[in-house]
Structure 1
Amino acid sequence: MDQRRLVFFPLPLQGHQTPMLQLASILYSKGFSISIIHTNFNSPNPANYPSFTFHSISDNLSESEASTEDLTLLLHNLNMNCLVPFSAILSEIMSEVGVACLITDVIWYFTQAVADSLDLPRIVLRTNNPSSFIAFTYLPLFREKGYLSAQGSKLDEPVPELPPLKKKDIPRIHTRFPELNDEVSRKMMETSKAARGLVFNSFEELEGSSLTLVRQHFQIPVFAVGPFQKQVQASFSSLLTEDRSCIPWLNAQQPKSVLYVSFGSIAAIDEAQFHEIAWGLAHSKQPFLWVIRPGLVRGLNGRGAPLPNGFLEMVTGRSMIVGWAPQEEVLAHPAIGGFWTHCGWNSILESICKGVPMICLPFFGDQMTNARYVTDVWRVGLRFEKGLKQEDIEKGIKRIMVEKEGKEMIQRLAVLKDNASVCIQKGGSSYQSLESLVAHILSF
């Protein structure tokens, strides 16, 4: 058996594919050979990873099924449709080269049975963080206690089992098929417990107490080897075309003056919210770089979002709007002073690593939990707790960008940023965790 061949199977969504390919690059640097199995839907570009071997499988998704509008349905369909083609290609790879280990996204729950049938060890990568992963493990209890049906003022009540969460912070994915939600999360947890290891893109100094809870709950080896992005050369895994014209524009701005606004690759808002955001940005008087990608505003069938009348005239000279931005490069730019984010885990970790305070606008899944940690645990961002109103947005932007509160956040971020650098150096927590992961794989 080739002890040095690893097979990776990333989930075909931006926030999942990027860290999986980063982990593959990290383990490649440790001497492993890398094979990537991927779906036709949102497939990565093999040309960006010349050292890896790529194998494409059919996902059998119709055009309407290949939509992120109902994420739960998409994840269910992917798990159903990929079983046969994935099994076939994995068997073929194993017959040709021998494989030490299969590393999949946690959400590919069908792969545990395939790995077992081939007597192949499976390790899972959870692409969101330990703190939100714990919240997912509590979902059956929260459902039993009625927390998930909380409405109105009850949403602001604390969750006593899992401080500092409030009921509105419990992970939720909006779907037309709630019973599928239960099935997907239950299978995800069951097959994670059956895996031979669990990897996180996080680090002990940031989430030590949550990692302890995960270890107690799962009883399998847990490896916190993040931040991934600090250990690999900039990866080329963007599924959307980046508009690099924003970099020269940022070069012309004052240090720490620009608010970067991006809500990730999937989240959607309605037109009324879009207009509140626009006017909040306009009235704040702060320079801003706003990512408005196709599909950001619901119900426009991919057409560009219509900006409110008079908006562009009001922000001329201090604004730039792009369809997609090279985010890591933007966050590292000296002109950036704040990041208004959907609170996907990759975005939060990038913001922490670059020392940029955040405005949180979570949408679904782990994002609500992440936002609570940003505001209440690490205290490096703020959130509009009472919905999106342009006056609150204007005040919030000023709090982050020009007032004392934002400067205090930057001081706290400096400590976290330093920890993120130290943990991956020789002897650091993530360095040691990575060494343990390598030894664990070689022990199979």
Structure 2
Amino acid sequence: MDSQQSNNQLHVVFLPYPTPGHMIPMVDTARLFAKHGVNVTIITTHANASTFQESIDSDFNSGYSIKTQLIQFPSSQVGLPDGIENVKDVKDGTSPEMLGKISHGMLMLRDPIELRDWVRTTNAATAYFEPIFESEARSYGTICNSFHELESDYEKVSKTTMGIKSWSVGPVSTWANKGDERKGNRGHVEKNVEKERELLNWLNSKQNESVLYVSFGSLTKLFHAQLVEIAHGLEKSGHNFIWVVRKNDRDENEEGFLQDFEERVKESNKGYIIWNWAPQLLILDHPATGGIVTHCGWNSTLESISVGLPMITWPMFAEQFYNERLLVDVLKIGVPVGAKENKLWNSFTVEAMVRREEIAKAAEILLGNGQDSKEMRTRAKKFGDAAKRTIEEGGHSYNNLVQLIDELKSLKKSKALGEKAD
């Protein structure tokens, strides 16, 4: 499958030396890599990029995965006029003094390239998160809603880089709701028995693993044009689906489209629309459900993993794009729908809209009969089994929670003894 293969696409970074004799052939080499299916990033400064950006834009518009990543040349710090970022820009190119300043400026680019400020930029959220990270570093430890079998490598990295204790005790929703017959009603006080019975009857009428569950969480607000694309994409896929449409998603002036769509899928019996709140755990755990279209929020991600479901990943904002990388590239249980724009839930643009063709294609990969699809579903089931084992007595999460509680009890006792001694 083309989409599956793109998940393992090679990414090559090029860092051309800022003189024409080096830059021209390296940029051309980068373009050749892109034309052979490689994902390419060229790191350079603003003035240097202007000499070849037109070619890069042309290649990108032709469908090749190539881009430039700009970093700031420290002209003023080394005593050079703005825009002097290349040996060719120095009027007297043989001047040792000027060449020395260019070289010094290039050496100063080492940190922003290796600390990767071009990836981790300072923005409005920085002031919000930095105190949180500082507080975390001073804390006794961290409790994580994850489990060892899912993120063991990240557990090791966290412990070695943060230098504080951590305990993975998840998936907490699966654990807390284990054996609870009312789990379908989680977070919802008023239970509509009639609606739930109707939904279950519809699910019971479907073959195992044939239904795609579509939900974007409680915060995401989609504009009407995107809702239209989702509707046509689901219909185009030919698969059964349950689609949760939030009240905020509906444009009062254009609500008729969704109502007409609901009537149409009712007649065909291929789809089921749920307005506002849905018994998500109940739906995910039903044998007819074969996968989920998700915004990659961590709760929905863990709930899906816990029941062994593969996912179509459609991140919207915040850490959801990182979660997508985990699902698609690391765990290999996700199919990306092609979402690229990381913005607040109420500021999506038409330009970043995901089209119906991509939605239908991702659905076919997820629920299709191809070998890649089968292997992905098999991997998802293995993680689901691991999620159930880890919360049983003797499992990693079970032992971590018991260990943490015992440790906190001992800590409290030792502090009490210390206070008495004082």
Gaps of 5+ in 2: 1-44, 47-56, 70-112, 340-352, 413-422
SS at 1:307's partner residue?
helix
Name the structure 2 match of 1:69: none
**Is the contact made by 1:282 and 1:314 (CA closer than 8 Å) also made in structure 2?**
no
The one-letter code matched in structure 1 to 2:147 is F
Q: Which residue of 362, 365, 372 corresponds with 1:396?
A: 362
Please tell me whether residue 408 in structure 1 is matched to residue 361 in structure 2. Answer: no
Sort the Cα spacing of 1:305 and 1:368 in 2 relative to 1 into closer, same or farther, 3 A: farther
Deviation at 1:194, TM superposition (A): 2.3
8 A contact 2:314–2:336 mirrored in 1: yes
TM-score, normalised relative to structure 2: 0.60
CA distance in 2, matches of 1:270, 1:161: 39
After TM superposition, give the deviation of residue 230 of structure 1 in Å.
Answer: 2.7
State percent identity of aligned pairs: 33
Alignment match of 2:315 (pick from 352, 362, 379)? 362
Relative contact order, higher structure (CA 8 A, sep 6+): 1
Shift of the 310–237 alpha-carbon distance from structure 1 to 2, 3 Å rule, reads closer
- The structural deviation recorded for 1:208 is 1.0
Conserved in 1, the CA contact under 8 Å of 2:292 and 2:304? yes
Matching residue's letter, 2:325: R
Q: Alpha-carbon deviation of 1:428?
A: 2.0
Structure 2 residue aligned with 1:270, among 223, 227, 234? 223
Secondary structure of the 1:288 match is strand
SS at 2:248's partner residue? coil
CA, structure 1 residues 220+385, in 2 after alignment: closer, same or farther (shift >3 Å)? same
CA distance in 2, matches of 1:161, 1:414: 39
Q: TM-score, normalised to structure 1's length?
A: 0.57
Alignment check: 8 A CA contact 1:296 1:305 kept: no
- Counterpart amino acid of residue 133 in structure 2: M
1:189 shift after superposition? 1.0
Q: How many Å apart are 1:391 and its aligned residue?
A: 1.3
Distance apart, 1:407 and its partner CA: 1.6
Partner Cα distance (2:143, 2:286) in 1: 30
Shift of 1:306: 4.6
- Aligned pair 1:222/2:222, yes or no? no
Choose 387-396 or 332-341, whichever is displaced more.
Answer: 387-396
1:347-386 equivalences under 5 Å are: 347-385=300-338
> How far apart are the structure 2 equivalents of 1:264 and 1:171?
27
The CA deviation string for residues 109-152 of structure 1, in whole angstroms up to 9 with x for no partner, is xxxxxxxxxxxxxxxxxxxxxxxxxxxxxxxxxxxx99xxxx98
Of the three residues 426, 429, 435, the one matched with 2:396 is 429
What residue is the counterpart of 1:418 in the other structure?
A: 385
Asked whether the 8 Å contact 2:262–2:272 carries over to 1, the reply is no
Shift of 1:411: 0.8
More helix by share: 2
Q: Secondary structure at the residue paired with 2:272?
A: strand
Aligned residues of 1:171 and 1:366 also touching (Cα < 8 A):
no
**2:261 aligned with 1:311, yes or no?**
yes
* Residue 274 (structure 2) aligns with: 322
RMSD: 3.3
Structure 1 Cα separation of the partners of residues 289 and 216 of structure 2: 16
Bigger mean CA deviation after superposition, 204-213 or 380-389: 380-389
Match of 1:255, SS state, is coil
In the comparison of the two structures, how many residue pairs are matched?
A: 281
8 Å CA contact 2:262–2:273 kept in 1: the answer is no
